[in-house]
């Protein structure tokens, strides 16, 4: 049985079930974004850990005859983490914009704030790896 209650979402009159469906979809987008933030955080921290481990174990740098050493591998991991975060943020923004255009309204996304903070962490880690041989 559908409730007769109506709500105004960004100038569009919708019933309760539509409003709740909109909220579920928005929250699903937030969860997906937070999953990407977790994945990027894992890649960035694992990359930096690999870098520091091999910096302590073999301070001389790259071993002879290797195309990609531990330092380069670590930088690739951090780079993949940063790129995945940027792509996920772009996709999240597109999804939220599409949802807002259909139903109106605009909610702040704390997942994007978390993504920005993790991006800052990743950029600082990458800078530390580049400038500290």
Closest among 122, 123, 124, 90 to 109, alpha carbons compared: 90
DSSP element (H, E) containing 64: none
What residues contact residue 119 under an 8 Å CB cut-off, 6+ apart? 40, 82, 85, 86
- For residue range 60-113, what is the model confidence (pLDDT) as tens digits? 655 556 777 888 899 999 999 999 999 999 999 999 988 888 777 667 788 999
Nearest of 66, 68, 49 to residue 57 by alpha carbon: 49
What are the boundaries of each domain within the chain?
70-133
pTM as predicted: 0.78
DSSP SS3 for 12: strand
């Amino acid at each position: 049985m559908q409730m007769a209650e109506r709500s105004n979402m960004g100038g569009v009159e919708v019933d309760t079930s539509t409003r709740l469906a909109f909220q579920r979809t928005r929250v699903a987008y937030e969860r997906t974004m937070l999953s990407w933030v977790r994945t990027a955080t894992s890649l960035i921290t694992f990359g930096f850990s690999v870098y520091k481990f091999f910096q302590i174990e073999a301070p001389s740098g790259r071993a002879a005859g290797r195309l990609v050493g531990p330092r380069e591998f670590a930088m690739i991991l951090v780079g993949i983490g940063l790129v995945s975060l940027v792509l996920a943020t772009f996709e999240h923004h597109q999804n939220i914009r599409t949802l807002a255009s259909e139903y109106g309204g605009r909610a702040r996304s704390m997942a994007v704030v978390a993504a920005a903070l993790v991006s800052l962490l990743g950029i600082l880690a990458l800078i530390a790896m580049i400038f500290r041989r």
